[in-house]
Amino acid sequence: MSIFLKISLLFSLSFVLMYYISYKNEVLTKNTFTSLIEEHYQYAAKELFTYLANNNTQKLEKKIKELQFKRVVLKKNEIYTTVYIHKDDFSGVKILQNKKQQHFLVMHYLDDTLTLTDTREEHYLHEIAILDYLIVADILILILLFVFVVKLLYPLKQIAYNLQKFGDGDYTIQLEQKSNDEIGLLAKQFNKMAQKIKNLIDTRERLLRNVAHELRTPITKSKLALEMLEETPYKKILTQANYDMDRLTNELLSLEKIQQQQNLLHRDDFTVETLITEALSQLLLQDETSIQVRIDENFAMQGDLFYLSMALKNLIDNALKFAQTLPIEIIVKKKQIIVKNLGKSLEHPLAYYCENFTQGEYARTTKGFGIGLSLVKTILDKHHLSLHYSYTDGKNIFTIS
């Protein structure tokens, strides 16, 4: 779940909760207030009715002041709702309410009518109105806060997108610096880091190209010189050393290219049978019986045939190199390529051998440079394929899924 979705959900939850609490609080306040007012007005009506009936004007006015009421005149063009009424033959009491929730006490006895309202009620209604305004203001502030937070965090979405591109190998990425806050500082520091990494990669690429170029010439010259020498044990040693140097150079360059040129992979459609045929052709086998191939399902694949065949060739070459007995097996089934050989199990987890220049102890006397599985893993990762290892019935089992 993205951070923006989380914030939106939290805001929505807070908004709904605040609205619900505000609504319930308003209903409860109004109901309580109305109930108290009506009880107060009914009590006042009982206290005042005696003086009204006896036409004792002086005591009536004194009691009105004690109860903090005042005389008013009802407006003719205003709508009133009757919330309480009591009538008999000679008298009557009504409690009215207008649209502003203000109450009025209307009392009559014979031809005398008295209309009053509590002087404190206006103050209470004013306080309630202020409370309603504050709740509305709080909700508006919450909305503004949400907009502000989203606007503040929006650059993170672009930063995350650019970081993903940077992780995929686009080292030319530079983030826009639109502010001087923490996010702007983050973008600035990232741009510095990205530029340093790009400079280091460019320097490494130039170094590898120069080293490869410088090595090609003496290797080629030594090959030509070796061809002119007579067959001796020393010539075989030198030939093997020359071959190992040439092979190491090629594997290092291949590893560097596949690590840095993911976007330059040439993707084609082919079958797994084509891939296996191409990989076996690179091995230059002298004894074809050393490998048994069984294809149960010739499924289609997509990728760079050159690099994938190189990966499979290295996997097969390792199986041949460390097999105690031949043949080794290549089995294709359920969209998997399985390479098996009879031999000792790996001394370390597979991840250990997928690092550059790592070998097991029993492999020290075997020809190799410890970058075979590293190259295999790198090529498979670039194609979104996985490599798994297991050891069953004395056999090492490598599976490309």
Q: What is the CATH number of the domain that holds 207?
A: 1.10.287.130
pLDDT at 86 > cutoff 90:
no
The per-residue pLDDT for range 341-380, each reduced to its tens digit, is: 999 988 888 888 877 555 555 444 444 444 568 778 888 8
Instruction: Indicate the range of 98-107, 162-171, 251-260, 309-318 predicted with least confidence.
Output: 251-260
Examine the fold and report which residue of 125, 150, 172 is the final residue of a domain before the chain moves on: 125
According to DSSP, the residues that pair with 105 across neighbouring strands are 95, 116
* The pLDDT of residue 359: 55
DSSP for 15-40 reads HHHHHHHHHHHHHHHHHHHHHHHHHH
* The pLDDT of residue 363: 47
Of 343, 348, 358, 350, which Cα lies nearest the Cα of 388? 350
The per-residue pLDDT for range 24-51, each reduced to its tens digit, is: 877 887 788 778 888 888 888 888 888 8
Q: How many domains does the chain have?
A: 3
Residue 136 lies in a domain: no
CB 169 within 8 A of CB 262: yes
* The pLDDT of residue 23: 81
The per-residue pLDDT for range 87-109, each reduced to its tens digit, is: 888 888 998 988 888 889 999 88
Which of 69-83, 116-130, 227-241, 248-262: highest mean pLDDT? 69-83
Residue 253: Cβ-neighbour burial (10 angstroms; 0-12, 13-18, 19+): middle
Residue 357 lies in a domain: yes
pLDDT band at residue 134 using 50, 70 and 90 as cut-offs: confident
Residue 14 lies in a domain: yes
Q: Which domain holds residue 214?
A: 182-260
Q: What is the mean pLDDT of the chain?
A: 82
According to DSSP, the residues that pair with 391 across neighbouring strands are 396
Structural tokens at position 191: 């741009």
- Same domain for 59 and 119? yes
The per-residue pLDDT for range 286-302, each reduced to its tens digit, is: 788 899 999 999 999 99
* CA–CA distance, 159 with 118 (Å, rounded to integer): 63
- Same domain for 93 and 17? yes
Q: Which residue has the tokens 């290092």?
A: 252
Residue 82 lies in a domain: yes
Residue 32 lies in a domain: yes
Examine the fold and report which residue of 260, 276, 302 is the final residue of a domain before the chain moves on: 260
* The pLDDT of residue 36: 85
Residue 152 lies in a domain: no
- Same domain for 96 and 202? no
- Same domain for 269 and 341? yes
* The pLDDT of residue 387: 93
Examine the fold and report which residue of 221, 237, 260 is the final residue of a domain before the chain moves on: 260
Collapsing DSSP to helix, strand or coil, 383 comes out as coil
- Same domain for 271 and 395? yes
Average of per-residue pLDDT across 390-398: 92
Average of per-residue pLDDT across 183-206: 81
Which of 142-146, 154-158, 169-173, 282-286: highest mean pLDDT? 142-146
- Same domain for 269 and 395? yes
Which of 318-327, 331-340, 347-356: highest mean pLDDT? 331-340
- Same domain for 289 and 198? no
> How large a percentage of the chain has pLDDT more than 70?
90
CB 63 within 8 A of CB 47: yes
Residues 6 or more apart whose Cβ sits within 8 Å of residue 135: 18, 22, 25, 26
End-to-end CA distance of the chain: 29
- Same domain for 279 and 329? yes
Structural tokens at position 294: 């069984």
* The pLDDT of residue 151: 78
Phi first, then psi: what are they for 313, rounded to 5°?
-60, -45
Alpha helices, H only, 81-181: 119-167
Residue 151 lies in a domain: no
Q: Which residue has the tokens 């093997």?
A: 240
* The pLDDT of residue 258: 67
Q: Domain containing 367 — which CATH number?
A: 3.30.565.10
- Same domain for 251 and 273? no
- Same domain for 239 and 331? no
pLDDT at 214 > cutoff 80:
no
* CA–CA distance, 174 with 194 (Å, rounded to integer): 8
* The pLDDT of residue 198: 81
- Same domain for 271 and 256? no
Residue 163 lies in a domain: no
CB 310 within 8 A of CB 371: no
- Same domain for 273 and 360? yes
Residue 373: Cβ-neighbour burial (10 angstroms; 0-12, 13-18, 19+): buried
Instruction: Indicate the range of 63-72, 131-140, 213-222 predicted with least confidence.
Output: 213-222
